[in-house]
């Protein structure tokens, strides 16, 4: 059965490939459009544009194929090529020997290099060595991230896009960003990123190539079309339009590929296990801290909802509606990136570390959900119990403490377990603020080994172990609290 499926898949991708070659069929080209001036959304037209986009469209015209762009996260591009869900990718992708083990490249179409960016007034670093022990922000899966990972003792935070890494630097949570020179220059000129400058420039010379699945039939037509654009001067015109200078002469083959590329090494299982365990530790820490604070806040909210103060009740409702009604992802971005930028714009020095930021966002959110769970638990206790407590002369607080709460806790345990398990999984959202929790650890390994399936299955299994253990623990607690029959 499995073999049959595999054969079907191979066969259908073969058909798709032959199709992609037929004149006039569109080519699906992936890119991560957060990298101006190469690929980005133009704010005035709201369309995806950039040097890469116009180049691939010119190549498509030359080869007789319309281009269909597909936006992907940068670290998802190589896996998408491996699974042949896209025909090609143009995303300022540096041609490296490591990547050439997993995918193929066109001939080089752009010469770039890496640089270090720092805040004005902060220490300058002119070489990677000087970044030793510093905090470096990078975009996940990029050559900048690879360079940063080799700096001894550096604390590297990986973000989903280069603008987010630069924002981290602006906000004062990183000492440097490593990225591509043309993109940095453009970001500093165009975007709302003030107070940054290039420090170490051209740490490396890199060439961008159009990325293709291994043995893609598109390689020859793309190279032909690119060659034609270069020899006819249309490439130079495009280059001048975007960079205001004449293009350098490009090599026919990227220097990185001149030595024979050895085949991909096997997945290092010990390293995978070690990284996933590290990630699981952070996931657990985030879950336990946020759940504890959330439970505390949720209890407070549930009490206030019971109290005879209409204004307090109304405020609690607004709080719950806001945190239940907006995505946790948005709340994380708001607290981690938005709040410091806002406060700093008022000329007040303010930074927030990622642990407090993540725990704050998660706790605020959990508190809103738990408030409702606890409230329904409290309200489910029979009126007679309340009246009995009153008849015994208990104060409202004593009534809650000795009569209502002990019974309500038993009832709300199952929904509390639900919230806890949901939270274990939701902590993966903290990856967006550069947290190397369980999911991000998997992503980081995929970004260097390109073994998406095996690694994400392993990540899923670790989550499953964590959620199953949590549910067993809650079951035990429930049994312990249940009334003796
Ligand atoms: N050139 C670098 C690399 O290949 C960064 C590319 C980032 N591109 C993007 N569209 N975000 O790793």
| CATH code of the domain containing 388 | 1.10.3720.10
Is residue 59 domain-shared with residue 169, that is, in the same domain?
no
383 part of a folded domain: yes
Is residue 232 domain-shared with residue 146, that is, in the same domain?
no
Q: How far is ligand 1, taken at its centre, from the CA of residue 285, in Å?
A: 32
Q: How far is ligand 1, taken at its centre, from the CA of residue 91, in Å?
A: 6
Q: Which atom of ligand 1 is least distant from the CA of 145?
A: 12
Atom 5 of ligand 1, residue of closest alpha carbon: 142
3-class state of residue 428 by DSSP = helix
124 part of a folded domain: yes
The domain tally of the chain equals: 3
Q: How far is ligand 1, taken at its centre, from the CA of residue 53, in Å?
A: 14
18 part of a folded domain: no
Is residue 100 domain-shared with residue 199, that is, in the same domain?
no
Query: What are the residues whose beta carbons fall under 8 Å from the beta carbon of 436, sequence distance 6 or more?
Result: 158, 278, 279, 282, 444
How many CA atoms are closer than 13 Å to the CA of 184, on its beta-carbon side? Answer: 28
Q: Which atom of ligand 1 is least distant from the CA of 206?
A: 1
Q: Which domain holds residue 80?
A: 26-109+207-257
Is residue 215 domain-shared with residue 317, that is, in the same domain?
no
Is residue 321 domain-shared with residue 419, that is, in the same domain?
yes
Q: How far is ligand 1, taken at its centre, from the CA of residue 383, in Å?
A: 64
Q: How far is ligand 1, taken at its centre, from the CA of residue 237, in Å?
A: 23
With a Cβ cut-off of 6 Å, ligand 1 is lined by: 31-32, 34-35, 39, 74, 91-94, 139, 142-143, 162, 180
Q: Which atom of ligand 1 is least distant from the CA of 39?
A: 10
353 part of a folded domain: yes
Is residue 32 domain-shared with residue 163, that is, in the same domain?
no
| Distance in angstroms (rounded) separating the CA atoms of residues 332 and 427 | 11
| Distance in angstroms (rounded) separating the CA atoms of residues 98 and 112 | 18
Q: Are 369 and 426 in contact (CB under 8 A)?
A: no
264 part of a folded domain: no
Local mean pLDDT, 10-residue blocks, the chain (485 residues) = 48 56 90 96 93 98 97 95 96 96 97 94 91 96 95 96 93 94 86 81 90 97 98 98 95 90 80 96 97 97 91 96 95 92 87 92 97 94 92 90 90 95 96 93 92 95 98 94 69
Q: Domain with 76 in it: what CATH number?
A: 3.40.190.10
Question: Of 204, 223, 241, which marks where a domain is finished?
Answer: 204
Mutate to test the pocket of ligand 1, among 38, 77, 92, 159 (most ligand atoms within 8 A of CB): 92
7 part of a folded domain: no
Q: Are 210 and 56 in contact (CB under 8 A)?
A: yes
Q: What is the DSSP string of 260-321?
A: PPPPPPPP-HHHHHHHHHHHHHHHHHHHHHHHHHHHHHHHHHHHHHHSS-HHHHHHHHHHHH
432 part of a folded domain: yes
Is residue 68 domain-shared with residue 119, that is, in the same domain?
no
Q: How far is ligand 1, taken at its centre, from the CA of residue 33, in Å?
A: 10
Virtual CA dihedral for 221, 105, 200, 52, nearest 10 degrees? Answer: 40
263 part of a folded domain: no
| Distance in angstroms (rounded) separating the CA atoms of residues 4 and 1 | 5
- Residue 103: predicted pLDDT: 96
| Distance in angstroms (rounded) separating the CA atoms of residues 10 and 21 | 17
3-class state of residue 111 by DSSP = strand
Mutate to test the pocket of ligand 1, among 93, 138, 159, 178 (most ligand atoms within 8 A of CB): 93
Mutate to test the pocket of ligand 1, among 110, 113, 138, 142 (most ligand atoms within 8 A of CB): 142
**Distances 15 to 11, 304, 326, 452 between C-alpha atoms, Å:** 6, 64, 43, 24
Is residue 191 domain-shared with residue 212, that is, in the same domain?
no
Q: How far is ligand 1, taken at its centre, from the CA of residue 36, in Å?
A: 11
Is residue 283 domain-shared with residue 411, that is, in the same domain?
yes
Q: How far is ligand 1, taken at its centre, from the CA of residue 215, in Å?
A: 22
Q: What is the pTM of this model?
A: 0.85
Q: Which atom of ligand 1 is least distant from the CA of 31?
A: 10
Is residue 273 domain-shared with residue 376, that is, in the same domain?
yes
Is residue 471 domain-shared with residue 334, that is, in the same domain?
yes
- Residue 387: predicted pLDDT: 93
Is residue 476 domain-shared with residue 346, that is, in the same domain?
yes
């Amino acid at each position: 059965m499995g073999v049959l499926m595999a054969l079907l898949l191979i066969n259908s991708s073969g058909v798709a490939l032959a199709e992609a070659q037929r004149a006039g069929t569109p080519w699906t080209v992936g890119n991560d459009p957060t990298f101006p001036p190469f690929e980005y959304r133009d704010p005035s037209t709201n369309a995806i544009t950039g040097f890469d986009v116009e180049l691939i469209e010119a190549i498509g015209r030359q080869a007789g194929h319309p281009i269909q762009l597909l936006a992907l996260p940068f670290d998802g591009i190589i896996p998408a090529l491996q699974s042949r869900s896209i025909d090609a990718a143009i995303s300022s992708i540096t041609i490296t020997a490591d990547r050439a083990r997993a995918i193929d490249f066109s001939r080089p179409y752009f010469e770039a290099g890496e640089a270090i960016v720092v805040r004005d007034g902060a220490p300058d670093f002119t070489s990677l060595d000087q970044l030793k022990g510093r905090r470096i922000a990078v975009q996940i899966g990029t050559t900048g991230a690879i360079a940063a990972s080799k700096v001894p003792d550096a604390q590297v935070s990986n973000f989903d896009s280069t603008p987010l890494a630069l924002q981290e630097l602006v906000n004062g949570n990183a000492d440097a960003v490593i990225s591509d020179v043309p993109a940095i220059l453009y970001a500093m000129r165009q975007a709302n990123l003030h107070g940054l400058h290039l420090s170490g420039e051209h740490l490396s010379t890199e060439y961008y190539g159009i990325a293709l699945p291994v043995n893609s039939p598109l390689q020859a037509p793309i190279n032909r079309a690119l060659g034609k654009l270069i020899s006819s001067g249309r490439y130079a015109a495009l280059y001048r339009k975007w960079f205001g200078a004449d293009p350098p002469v490009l090599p026919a083959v990227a220097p990185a590929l001149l030595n024979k590329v050895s085949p991909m090494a096997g997945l290092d299982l010990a390293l995978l296990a070690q990284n996933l365990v590290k990630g699981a530790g952070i996931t657990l820490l985030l879950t336990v801290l946020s759940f504890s604070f959330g439970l505390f806040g949720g209890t407070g909210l549930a009490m206030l909802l019971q109290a005879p103060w209409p204004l307090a009740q109304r405020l609690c409702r607004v709080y719950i509606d806001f945190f239940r009604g907006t995505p946790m992802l948005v709340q994380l971005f708001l607290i981690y990136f938005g709040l410091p930028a806002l406060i700093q714009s008022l000329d007040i020095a303010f930074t927030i570390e990622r642990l407090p930021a993540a725990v704050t966002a998660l706790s605020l959110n959990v508190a809103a959900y738990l408030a409702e769970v606890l409230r329904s638990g409290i309200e489910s206790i029979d009126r007679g119990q309340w009246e009995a407590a009153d008849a015994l002369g208990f104060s409202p607080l004593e009534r809650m403490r000795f009569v209502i709460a002990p019974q309500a806790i038993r009832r709300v345990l199952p929904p509390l377990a639900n919230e806890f398990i949901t939270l274990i999984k939701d902590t993966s959202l903290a990856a967006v603020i550069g947290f190397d929790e369980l999911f991000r650890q998997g992503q980081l390994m995929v970004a260097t080994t390109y073994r998406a399936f095996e690694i994400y299955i392993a990540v899923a299994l670790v989550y499953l172990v964590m959620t199953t253990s949590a549910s067993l623990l809650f079951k035990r607690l429930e049994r312990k609290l249940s009334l003796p029959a």
